[in-house]
Amino acid sequence: MAATALAGCVSSTSSTQCLTGELADAAVFPSIVREGLDSAMRQAIGVAPEGFPFGAVLVDIVSGEVVAAAGNQMANGDPSAHAEVDVLREAGIAGIDLTATVLVTTAESCVMCAACAVWAGVQGVVYGTPVTFLTDSGWKQFGLTQPEIVSASWLSMPVVGNYLRELTDPLYASGPPR
Ligand SMILES: [Zn+2]
């Protein structure tokens, strides 16, 4: 079949797959990482600020330890200061090898943050609340899931979703600040 030039599509001789990313299971991560995920998510929740309650941490793929944490800092006037961008930027500048980390975030990443995680080359992403819940609760979001965004990239990065969302959904249920 003819090759296509559609963004996010991969053509082979038999088919064209477009944005078919699916969620992965946490079992893809080493046990040392899995054992620390609950604690990591709770730390991400802990750094989520009032107003825009999004938090993110980076977990070392070898030690399972949280090596960086940041909350949303848009209150400072920086529209790119989402939690995931913040933690990747701060850790990268600090010299942490981002390719040896897993990103744990309280909510499924927006297009900007999902792309930033790809650019960083992290080993995977674990999020709490899905984009669909954010949208249903009144938060602005793009109509793309994080696995879909990753699938349009050059990485086969696992994305684990809805992790401890019973703890993160309440952060977003009442919608954004008015
Ligand atoms: Zn974002």
The 3 state secondary structure assigned to the chain is: CCCCCCCCEEECCCCEEECCCCCCCHHHCCHHHHHHHHHHHHHHHHCCCCCCCCEEEEEECCCCCEEEEEECCHHHCCCCCCHHHHHHHHHHHCCCCHHHEEEEEEECCCHHHHHHHHHHCCCEEEEEECHHHHHHCCCCCCCCCHHHHHHCCCCCCCEECCCCHHHHHHHHCCCCCC
Residues paired with 58 in a beta bridge: 68, 103
Ligand 1 centre to CA of 34 (Å) is 24
Ligand 1 centre to CA of 84 (Å) is 6
Per-residue pLDDT at 15: 45
Residues lining ion ligand 1 (Cβ < 5 A) are 82, 110, 112-113
160 band by pLDDT with thresholds 50, 70 and 90? very high
Among 7-11, 29-33, 138-142, where is mean pLDDT lowest?
Answer: 7-11
Longest distance between any two alpha carbons in the chain, whole Å: 52
Q: Write the CA distances from 122 to 97, 106, 158, integer angstroms.
A: 9, 17, 10
Ligand 1 centre to CA of 103 (Å) is 13
The pLDDT tens digits for 129-139 are: 999 999 999 99
Distance CA 116, CA 132 (A): 20
Distance CA 88, CA 67 (A): 11
Per-residue pLDDT at 178: 83
Distance CA 92, CA 125 (A): 16
20 band by pLDDT with thresholds 50, 70 and 90? low
The pLDDT tens digits for 64-93 are: 999 999 999 999 999 999 999 999 999 999
Look up the pTM and report it: 0.89
